Amino acid sequence: MRTSEEQVIRTVEGIAEPGRISGRRRFQLTWPALLVFVVIVALWELAARSGLISHLVLPAPSGIALALVNLFTTGILWQHLRATLTATIAGFAFGAGLAFILAVLSSFWGWFRRIVSPYMIILQVTPRVALAPIFITWFGFGLTPKIVMAATICFFPVFINTLTGLLNTDEEALEMFRSMGASNRQIFTQFTMPSAMPVTFAGLKTGITLALIGAVVAEFVATSQGLGLLIDRFTFRLAMDESFAVLLVLALLGLALYGIMEFLDRRVVFWTHEERLSKKEIRSRREREETA
Amino acid sequence: MVRRGTPGMEEPRRATDTVGHRAGSGGPTVRARGLTKVFPRGKVVALEDVSFEVRSGQFTSVVGPSGCGKSTLLRLVAGLIPRSSGELEVHGSEVTAPRTDIAMMFQRPILLPWKTALENVVLPRRIRGKLTDRDWQEGRSLLRLLGLEDFRHAYPQHLSGGMQQRVALARLLITGADVLLMDEPFASLDEFTRERLNLELLRIQSEVDATIMFVTHNITEAVFLADQVLVMTPRPGRLAGVVEVPFGRPRAIELLRTPEFNDLTFKVRGLLGESI
């Protein structure tokens, strides 16, 4: 007992700067990956310049970089980027929002779950990419079909994860809450909902990247704006430098969206992240010392 | 770690230290008559015709092998599950649902990982309404009572098993309930920690003057802690007998070495043996 408590004290006090890795240590960990990246890009450049690989198959990195700069400076990219981003975020908001609400309702009522679940599964097993032309016929060439496409694709992981999280509750904890005289609403807000958050966030992280895929797929089929359209046009003209530049922008956009979700995850579900947990702990200890 | 003699609650009520005196105060706090529980699924008779009384301020251990219905008994008293037949009264009124004068503690601490130790302790108050400064202060002094004041801002994941169970104990005490039901609360802890917490529990009981029903499968622990031991046997869960424990309080660990103590544990063992 004594020793374990001392250990605990040490862990609580010991984390001076939680989650901080020194710059040198970070470099030690990442330099092999960086080196490999530099080597690959260099080889790629050489291969492209020497004509070993056709420009139409794989344009040189320097060409892609130049195209990227041009796309940004001429301002062509911005409206398309905005269009794709709007569709992705709106689609994600609708899809994930609806998925969340339906999951909560399904966790409340078994009968509701039994009615809804088959449709969810049918929606999931249908290749939704095939729905894109149908959505275009329904909603026209504007933003709407893209939003609907993004929403339908990101719906399922959010729904299934949230539902799993909400149903997979600790029976004994529920008993404890009931022994305290907690109402169903209190049990939900104080216990079930927060317990489900880690799994829900895993679904949201998958969902946001899927929403981007949905938006781009719809843009491939028919639209007047968007990064998907841009790639389609450039490849049609065999402007491979520009195509790859747009592809790079899409990758970075996906990374940024995922990064935002990851950031929110660490804030909201802080208790599953050791460094966030220790930070919060140290902050509340500091606040206590100030008031004391 | 534990500072003995620290005043616990705002106004610590000093309990009388003899069993005899406690027994004399009023009618039974918990009264069960012919208590029976049949689980409808599979028609399992978990508890059959159990009758007993717990007097105010008395420490009652419930001991028996697994499947003897001791946890079911506690859940019935807590009002968590409905009984199939028989009578069950706490403070003279029938138990039909969870009540504010009854509180329960489980084998696992069940602390919420997104709340600090202190936030976990005040949870029962939060369930009942908006938290006031008074609630926070009481939570804090309860953590002090359990030697955990310095850890009130720590999250459960950073606490050892013993410390977590102490936070759970503080959360039990803040309910203000005077009937405390404890379902093998220290069973998952190591021997040393369990012994320490048992002694602490006795100290706390004398400070808050609660009526405790304590489920355990450890005979020595059952006798050491209790004023009376309910001995239960399995399939179906029945009360094999009640053993009165006449030792005064406070009790020290040396009690375990006395022949009188051994006689009582053998008496309990005998009751258990008859029907196994």
A191 touches chain B (CB under 8 A): yes
Query: Vertex A282, ends A278 and A288: CA angle to 5°?
Result: 145
pLDDT at A35: 93
Torsion of CA A20, A25, A26, A28, to 10 degrees: -170
Closest among A70, A87, A100 to A220, alpha carbons compared? A87
Of all residues in chain B, the one with the smallest CA distance to A3 is B160
Q: Which of A11, A180, A288 lies closest to B175 in CB terms?
A: A180
Interface contacts A/B by beta carbons within 8 Å = 88
Q: Mark which residues 143-172 of A lie under 8 Å from B by CB.
A: 170, 172
Contact call for B104 and A5, based on CB within 8 A: no
Chain-centroid distance of CA A178 in Å reads: 36
pLDDT at A17: 44
* pLDDT beneath 70, residues of chain A: 1-21, 287-292
Closest among B178, B179, B184 to B165, alpha carbons compared? B184
Contact call for A271 and B158, based on CB within 8 A: no
Q: Which of B1, B153, B163 lies closest to A285 in CB terms?
A: B153
B81 touches chain A (CB under 8 A): no
Q: How many C-beta atoms lie closer than 10 Å to residue A150's C-beta? A: 31
β-strand partners of B63: B216, B231
Question: In the structure, how many helices (H) and strands (E) does chain A have?
Answer: 13, 0
- Across chain B, mean pLDDT equals 85
Instruction: Mention every residue, 6+ apart, whose C-beta is less than 8 A from residue A143.
Output: A83, A86, A87, A90
Spell out the domains of chain B, with CATH numbers in brackets. Answer: 1-101+179-276 (3.40.50.300), 110-176 (no CATH)
Q: How far is CA B263 from CA B1, B62, B269, B275, in A?
A: 34, 18, 10, 19
Q: Mark which residues 9-48 of A lie under 8 Å from B by CB.
A: 11-12
Cβ density class A226-245: b for 16+ within 10 Å, e for less = bbbbbbbebbeeeebbbbbb
Chain B residue numbers touching A180 (CB-CB < 8 A):
98, 103, 123-124, 127, 175
Of all residues in chain A, the one with the smallest CA distance to B189 is A1
Contact call for A181 and B99, based on CB within 8 A: yes
Name the E strands within chain B. 28-39, 44-55, 59-63, 85-90, 93-94, 102-105, 179-183, 211-216, 228-233, 238-244
Q: Which two tokens stand for residue A235?
A: 């490849």
pLDDT at B262: 93
Local confidence band at B205 (pLDDT 50, 70, 90 cut-offs) = confident
The residue type found at A40 is: I
Q: Which two tokens stand for residue B111?
A: 């602390």
pLDDT at A20: 56
| % of residues, chain B, pLDDT over 90 | 56
| Rounded-to-integer distance, Cα A138 and Cα A145, Å | 8
pLDDT at B26: 59
Using the predicted structure, report yes or no on whether residue B5 has a pLDDT greater than 70: no
Of all residues in chain B, the one with the smallest CA distance to A5 is B160
Using the predicted structure, report yes or no on whether residue B103 has a pLDDT greater than 90: yes
pLDDT at A175: 93
Cβ density class A104-114: b for 16+ within 10 Å, e for less = bebbeeeeebe
Local confidence band at B203 (pLDDT 50, 70, 90 cut-offs) = confident
pLDDT at A42: 92
Q: Which of B78, B127, B153 lies closest to A182 in CB terms?
A: B127
Chain A residue numbers touching B113 (CB-CB < 8 A):
271-272
How many CA atoms does the CB half-sphere of B243 hold within 13 Å?
Answer: 29
Are B181 and B74 in contact by the 8 Å Cβ rule? The answer is yes
Average pLDDT over residues B86-90: 93
Q: How far is CA A259 from CA A69, A205, A208, B81, B154, in A?
A: 24, 9, 10, 47, 28
Q: Which of A4, A172, A186 lies closest to B106 in CB terms?
A: A172
Of all residues in chain B, the one with the smallest CA distance to A285 is B153
Q: Which of A172, A270, A285 lies closest to B108 in CB terms?
A: A172
pTM of the model: 0.80
Predicted-complex ipTM score: 0.84
Between residues B64 and A8, which one has the greater pLDDT?
Answer: B64
Interval B27-48: pLDDT, tens: 789 999 999 999 888 788 889 9
A277 touches chain B (CB under 8 A): yes
A98 touches chain B (CB under 8 A): no
B1 touches chain A (CB under 8 A): yes
